[in-house]
Amino acid sequence: MTYIGNKSDLRVVGTRPDRPDGVEKVTGRAVYGADFRLAGQLTGRILRSPHAHARIIKIDTSKAKALPGVKAVMTAEDLPNITSEEAFVGEGPTNFRDQSLNVMARGKVLYEGHAVAAVAAMSPSIAEAALALIEVTYEVLPHVIDVEEAMAPGAPILDENLFTAGVDPKPTTPSNIAKKIILKSGDIDAGFAKADVIAEGRYVTAAVHQAYIEPHACVATIGADGQATVYASSQGHFMIRSFCAKLLGMEISNIRVIPLEIGGGFGGKTIVYLEPVALKLSQISGKPVKLVMTREEVFRASGPTSGAVVEVKMGAMKDGTIVAAQAVLKYQAGAFPGSPVQPGLMCAFAMYDIANVHVTGYDVISNRAKVAAYRAPGAPISSYAAEQVVDDLARQLGMDAITIREKNAAKAGTKTVYGVTFPEIGYEAVLAAAKSHAHWKAPLGKNQGRGIATGFWFNIGGESSASVFVNEDGSVSVVSGSPDIGGSRASMAMMAAEVLGIPVDNVRPIIGDTASIGFTNVTGGSRVTYATGMATVQATEKVIEQLKQRAAMIWDISPDAVDWKDGQAVPAGANAGGFDPLSLAAIAAKAGKTGGPIGSEVSVNAQGAGPGFGAHICDVEVDRETGQTTIIRYTAIQDVGRAIHPSYVEGQIQGGAVQGIGWALNEEYIYGA
């Protein structure tokens, strides 16, 4: 296959064409989740718990059901009580039963904002009036918010059937610690014994929300024949289909999910909240149902990422060699197990080649909304702590912050604590770029300071599908299964145009629904450009093979005697014959006479994505009296591989940096204030 990353004569990849969905989005015509409507649709609303932790004694929906204009009322009793089952559907593992309980509380509410009932009515005001008529009797229970308080003996227990996994022997009493994970390499005690300097610290990070500007929204409809269609904004319409099927006890073939434009996600739209509820309300009422979250609901009941406590201890020799690295990560999972503590453990020290590493992670539930993926889930939390301790080592040794990182940099052949040996990687190149950047040497003013931190993310591949069709006039359609969250349609069109040797304007990229394209995993984990791009490139190559065959048929020569060059079929050499080149349009025009429509679909499970590294340099000025912190200068250096559309790569980096600034300075959840 064509390895776009290694080609030197690229014509489309690396340029900055206008994005194909640009005009729709700047004119307000793009249809996002809440913009979509079906004739006769009802308005849905969800009743949410006012308590952080309570037993549900009784839910009386009779008054709500009796209100004129109310067409459906549901609670968890209307959903199948499914058993525990691991699910690898979104970004990272989850559990179908937990998702069911999160979508609609059964027996207990586990956080303020937990859904307990839902209604569908003829108008928003009737739906809201109906919510007020639902009577829920709660027995309020003690609750716990803080991660360390949740771990402590005697803490209120959220789930009497949860016993800490990863502990031997198996515990006999339930705990809020869902899992303990240890990763280690070398001999940590021997490592510290060799150290000349030791640095350690305890770092606390706030839970922050992904805070996509578009609240969750969907419209669902199901007919008497059991055929269902869901229109939704998400990071994965196949993910929605899987969850709806499992949570409602439906067959996957009976559910079609049609992706709408997504107004941001950052990982937070890789799971379901509304779709199974809307489908159930549609089933009860016999009408389409629209559910849209308010911003308040988004903050109370969806996302965020884990707040955490991270304790790090590192030791280095006088020459700067880091000989030991130890960390304990305590990550909030929210009300159900499944924090990103595992990737946190894997990423904490992944930038470094350290002989002795010992990292321990705790996945801890508490009375908060269940966490969801957020930009390299788990990694910024542990890196934030580890990088400050590396800086402390450098200070103790009188070394430059970049020099100590260069001294210990992971490189090709470095074995990570999670067992993978790195191939050729870009961390040293990232450090070199940081060191040579004017920012690193620029003078600082009064009350100003400079920091640098580096980070790692695996990048993943996975399952993606794409199809490429040549239209009758020689224009090209590219269909993929990946929701476009930040410019992937542009990237797919550019890759197809590159391989075909045609202008990108001749390629129209769209996102296919679950019945129109092969299975495609969520847009997340930094996988789409790589995996869906691979499917697109391979499908385009298959199309080129067909185009060559058609040209061979037209010329009555062997397909081997045809080359594809600059968007045209040409004879492979002098012996092939003196034919004029055949353009894509010319071949397309004769497709009906040479074997029918030209197109190909490819599904891949992409492997071998290269890991990514970054270094950010930030200058701040701090008012010593008020603590007011102002960002003076910020430089981000990122090993991105081959940038398909550089503007959108820059945009990802800039947006990520600003989210990091928000996390560091402005954002948190405050409970009990």
Partner 1 sequence: MSKTHVTTTINGEPAEFLAEAGLSLLDALRDEVGLTGTKEGCGSGDCGACSVIVDDRLVCACLVLAVEAEGATIQTIEGVATGDTLHPLQRKFIEHAALQCGFCTPGFLVAAKSLLEKNNNPTETEVRFWLAGNLCRCTGYDKIVRAVMDAAAEMRGA
- Which residues are near partner 1 by CB under 8 A? 16, 18-19, 21-32, 34-35, 124-125, 210-215, 261-266, 294-296, 485-487, 645, 647-648, 650-652, 654-659
Q: Which is nearer to partner 1, 531 or 649 (CB)?
A: 649
Q: Which is nearer to partner 1, 35 or 400 (CB)?
A: 35
Which of 380, 305, 378, 342 is closest to 616 using CA atoms? Answer: 380
Q: How far is the CB of 356 from partner 1 (least distance, A)?
A: 38
Q: Rounded distance, CA 607 to CA 170, Å?
A: 36
Q: How far is the CB of 149 from partner 1 (least distance, A)?
A: 31
Structure tokens at 270: 């890789």
Q: How far is the CB of 654 from partner 1 (least distance, A)?
A: 4
Question: DSSP letters of 100-123?
Answer: HHHHS--SEE-STT-EEEEEEESS
Say which residues have a Cβ less than 8 Å from residue 489's Cβ, sequence separation at least 6.
Answer: 19, 20, 21, 480, 509, 510, 511
Q: Rounded distance, CA 206 to CA 670, Å?
A: 9
Q: How far is the CB of 667 from partner 1 (least distance, A)?
A: 11
Q: Are 495 and 509 in contact (CB under 8 A)?
A: no
Instruction: For 354-368, give the secondary structure using H, E and C.
Output: CCCEEEEEEEEECCC
H/E run at residue 131? helix 124-133
Q: How far is the CB of 489 from partner 1 (least distance, A)?
A: 11
Q: How far is the CB of 368 from partner 1 (least distance, A)?
A: 21
Q: Which is nearer to partner 1, 484 or 513 (CB)?
A: 484
Q: How far is the CB of 127 from partner 1 (least distance, A)?
A: 13
Q: Rounded distance, CA 417 to CA 212, Å?
A: 33
Q: Rounded distance, CA 79 to CA 75, Å?
A: 8
Q: How far is the CB of 44 from partner 1 (least distance, A)?
A: 14
Q: How far is the CB of 575 from partner 1 (least distance, A)?
A: 48
Q: How far is the CB of 86 from partner 1 (least distance, A)?
A: 31
Question: DSSP letters of 334-361?
Answer: ESSS--THHHHHHHHTTTB--S-EEEEE
Q: Which is nearer to partner 1, 377 or 487 (CB)?
A: 487
Q: Return the residue matching tokens 């008020």.
A: 626
Q: Which is nearer to partner 1, 262 or 335 (CB)?
A: 262
Q: Which is nearer to partner 1, 240 or 316 (CB)?
A: 240
Residue type present at position 447:
N
Q: Which is nearer to partner 1, 215 or 380 (CB)?
A: 215
Q: Which CA distances in Å does 82 have to 78, 100, 111, 217?
A: 12, 8, 21, 25
Q: Which is nearer to partner 1, 222 or 649 (CB)?
A: 649
Taken in order 586, 591, 594, 598, is the CA torsion positive or negative?
positive
Q: How far is the CB of 22 from partner 1 (least distance, A)?
A: 4
Q: Which is nearer to partner 1, 320 or 486 (CB)?
A: 486
Q: How far is the CB of 266 from partner 1 (least distance, A)?
A: 7
Which of 589, 464, 604, 602 is closest to 543 using CA atoms? Answer: 602
Q: Are 333 and 381 in contact (CB under 8 A)?
A: no
Q: Which is nearer to partner 1, 558 or 666 (CB)?
A: 666
Q: Which is nearer to partner 1, 24 or 189 (CB)?
A: 24
Say which residues have a Cβ less than 8 Å from residue 368's Cβ, sequence separation at least 6.
Answer: 111, 145, 207, 332, 334, 335, 669, 671
Which of 644, 673, 364 is closest to 509 using CA atoms? Answer: 644
Q: Rounded distance, CA 271 to CA 404, Å?
A: 40
Q: Rounded distance, CA 248 to CA 100, Å?
A: 9
Residues of the chain by 3-state class (helix, strand, coil), percent to 5: 30, 25, 40
Structure tokens at 311: 């304790």
H/E run at residue 379? helix 379-397
Q: Which is nearer to partner 1, 574 or 670 (CB)?
A: 670
Q: How far is the CB of 210 from partner 1 (least distance, A)?
A: 8
Which of 17, 226, 149 is closest to 672 using CA atoms? Answer: 149
Q: Which is nearer to partner 1, 210 or 536 (CB)?
A: 210
- How many other CB atoms are found less than 10 A from the CB of residue 167? 12
Which of 671, 45, 148, 120 is closest to 369 using CA atoms? Answer: 671
Q: Which is nearer to partner 1, 123 or 605 (CB)?
A: 123
Q: How far is the CB of 449 from partner 1 (least distance, A)?
A: 22
